Amino acid sequence: MTNTSVSEMMREFESRDGQMVIGGKSAVEIADEFGTPVYVTDEKRLRENYRNIHDAFSRHMDAKVHYACKANTNLAILRILEQEGSGIDAVSIGEVRTCLKAGFSPDRIMYTGVNVSDAELKEVSDLGVMINLDSVSEMERLAAIAPGYPVSFRITPGVGSGHGAKVITGTKGAKFGIPLDEVIGTYARAKDLGFDIKGIHAHIGSGGQSVEPFMDMMEVLVDLVNQISELGINLDFIDMGGGIGVPYRPQEEEMDVGELAVNLTDMVTEETDIKTLILEPGRYIVCDTTVLLTRVNDVKDAGTKRYVGCDAGFNTLIRPAMYDSYHYVAIANKFGKACTGKYDVVGPICESGDYLAHDRVLPDPEEGDIVAVYNAGAYGFSMSSNYNSRPLCREVLVNDGKAELIREAESVEEQWRHQIIPERLRR
């Protein structure tokens, strides 16, 4: 028997004989084979998500998708996106080098750092990766390090959007970008310094679900492009950044990416001479490709609360604790069964704030059950930590019913590899 479990607003998963299926393979079988906690990514869904957003924009104008790799930098996931033709939005030299390792050529990577050191600017420019400058200071320093280098500029549009205050980046006074009243002067200075000026960039925040803030941002960028052209600088591209959200809750509607694409490309083509639009989705591409599987170790009734205690905590997935983010949870081996009670799903970390979900109705949980945490592909593994000296977990890729290990679990011993006890303390 095959059915689905949650609303069409959020990704649905197949159920076979009461067990959750991911990419054609039983979630319980994956957990048993690879152990828990484990991040499980569906390759087919990853490719589909990339194609959906690329096609939505490229049917209207030359559009390039630069995957915001901070969302997930696993080499196998990067390799899949390289095969699909993606570019990269990188925010550190580590991300640049990781993407080169995955097979991306330097011309497909754009580096957008913040508070960047001279050493990192030199390393990035030596690699031949385009730099999206974040400040006047960075521009002046790069002019001495790599004269005539190809650059664009990140501007602060005065528009913000996102799922929470900690991820809104584009408002006035933000730490990111060139303030609006300094943009034209900065481009004029860049021209005087001899830079090869290619484009303009803005980013308003992460996880936005409304089209309107993106339109407001683009109005600012279009106006600036036309003012910059009066300086004799003809830009090649507008980079609208990322931040396109996805539904995390069962009844939450997905952003209409088709509408977004039409509105933005119409504005660019009708009001400027810009030929290329770049966008930098991260969450949209990887979020719903991945499920975190975690095993139930304990079920506790504390009187005022009932707890499902799992082997994954905020060391494994920090978003609920850090952002108060919602992630849908289900019991993978009781998929589709009637829910009988309300529970908090919590982890093994020695903190009261260690939780994955609050007040969720679930079918009777038991020790040994496998809890599936949805939408874990974006900022899941990439933000995990060794807190409480817990090793980083495995990652698995599934495709057409086959599961492959794409990251080994870390050992406790590996956490010590860079630590040194001075000789005087050994005596």
Main-chain phi, psi angles of 117, to 5 degrees: -80, 160
What are the C-alpha distances in Å from 110 to residues 89, 105, 130, 196? 5, 11, 5, 14
Q: Cα 29 to the chain's mean position, in Å?
A: 27
Residue 208 pLDDT: 65
Arithmetic mean of pLDDT, 405-412: 98
Strand partners for 131: 111, 151
Q: How far apart are CA 320 and CA 325, in angstroms?
A: 4
Which of the four pLDDT bands, split at 50, 70 and 90, describes residue 169? low
What are the C-alpha distances in Å from 194 to residues 187, 189, 300? 11, 9, 66
Q: For a pLDDT cut of 70, what percent of the chain falls above it?
A: 93
Residue 254 pLDDT: 85
Q: For a pLDDT cut of 90, what percent of the chain falls above it?
A: 85
Q: Which domains, ranges and CATH numbers included, belong to the chain? A: 2-42+288-416 (2.40.37.10), 43-286 (3.20.20.10)
- The catalytic residue positions are 350
Strand partners for 370: 295
Residue 325 pLDDT: 94
pLDDT at 163 over 60: no
Main-chain phi, psi angles of 254, to 5 degrees: -80, 145
H-type helices in 19-166, by residue range? 27-34, 43-58, 75-84, 93-101, 118-127, 136-145
Residue 207 pLDDT: 60
Which of the four pLDDT bands, split at 50, 70 and 90, describes residue 384? very high
Q: What is the pLDDT of residues 13-27, one digit of tens each?
A: 999 999 999 999 999
Which of the four pLDDT bands, split at 50, 70 and 90, describes residue 7? very low
Arithmetic mean of pLDDT, 404-410: 98
pLDDT at 241 over 60: yes
- Residue 326 · residue 6 · CB < 8 Å: no
Residue 3 pLDDT: 37
Q: What is the pLDDT of residues 95-151, one digit of tens each?
A: 999 999 999 999 999 999 999 999 999 999 999 999 999 999 999 999 999 999 999
Q: What is the pLDDT of residues 203-222, one digit of tens each?
A: 987 566 778 888 988 999 99
Arithmetic mean of pLDDT, 20-42: 98
Q: Show the tokens assigned to 316.
A: 């494994």
